[in-house]
Structure formats: C-alpha cells, structure tokens
C-alpha cells in the first residue's frame, strides 16, 4: 500500500456495506468544519503561521474521515466527536483571542497536529 493511496478518497463511498455509511458525513463534515475553524482562529492572525492552516485543513479532512469510520464501530464515539465540535464552536471567541495574543503556542499546536497526521498516515500505510 502506497502513501498516496491513503489520499485517494477523502470522502469514502457509503454504498453497500461500508463503515462510512453511518454516521459517515454526520460526523465527518462537522469535524472538518471545526478543525478548519480552529486552525483559522489560531493561525490566521499571524502572517507567518498562515501556511500552517493547510495542515489543519488536511488533518481535519483525513483524520475526520477516519474518525467517522471509527464512529461506525463505536457509536458513543459519535457523541464525543459531536461534543468536541460544539465545544470548538462555542469557544470560538476564546480561541480567536488566544490565537491573536500568542504566536508560539499556535505554531507548536500546528506542528503537533502535523506530527499526529503524519504518524497516522505512516501507521495506515504499514498495514
């Protein structure tokens, strides 16, 4: 399995028997929105961190997909994922204020998100 095959389907098919069928998009899209919003609020106020927003977009897209598939096998995880989304949306003003007042911490968080994403890709390709 190549690294690039991991990126082949950011939104897997929900046809037939698919682990993405339920809850699928009901978890994936909100996680994508919350991840991109968090990255935007933390990175956008500083021009030097703006390229790191791409890390948040990719991680939200692909880790959200994998988490949506995990939610199929562990339904309570769906509630945890949606609670995390609601938390990001409710705390958006606090995130914006924090992102505007700090430079180093959002940079470290972005690098940590990138490291988790890369480790997940590596682990997925080793199977």
With residue 17 as reference, give the H or E element that holds it.
none
pTM: 0.87
Distance CA 94, CA 111 (A): 21
Residue in the block written with tokens 């309570």: 76
Contact by Cβ (8 Å): 82, 24: no
pLDDT at 1: 56
For all residues of the chain together, what is the average pLDDT? 91
Task: Give tens-digit pLDDT for 59-104.
Answer: 999 999 999 999 999 999 999 999 999 999 999 999 999 999 999 9
Distance CA 120, CA 40 (A): 22
């Amino acid at each position: 399995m190549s690294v690039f095959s991991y990126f082949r389907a950011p939104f897997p098919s929900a046809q037939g028997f698919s682990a993405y069928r339920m809850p699928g998009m009901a978890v994936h899209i909100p996680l994508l929105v919350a991840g991109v919003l968090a990255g935007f609020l933390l990175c956008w106020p500083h021009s030097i961190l703006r390229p790191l927003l791409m890390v948040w977009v990719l991680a939200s897209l692909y880790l959200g997909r994998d988490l949506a598939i995990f939610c199929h096998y562990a339904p309570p995880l769906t509630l945890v994922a949606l609670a995390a989304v609601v938390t990001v949306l409710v705390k958006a003003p606090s995130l914006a204020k924090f992102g505007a007042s700090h430079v180093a911490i959002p940079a470290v968080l972005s690098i940590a998100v990138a490291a988790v994403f890369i480790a997940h890709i590596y682990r997925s390709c080793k199977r």
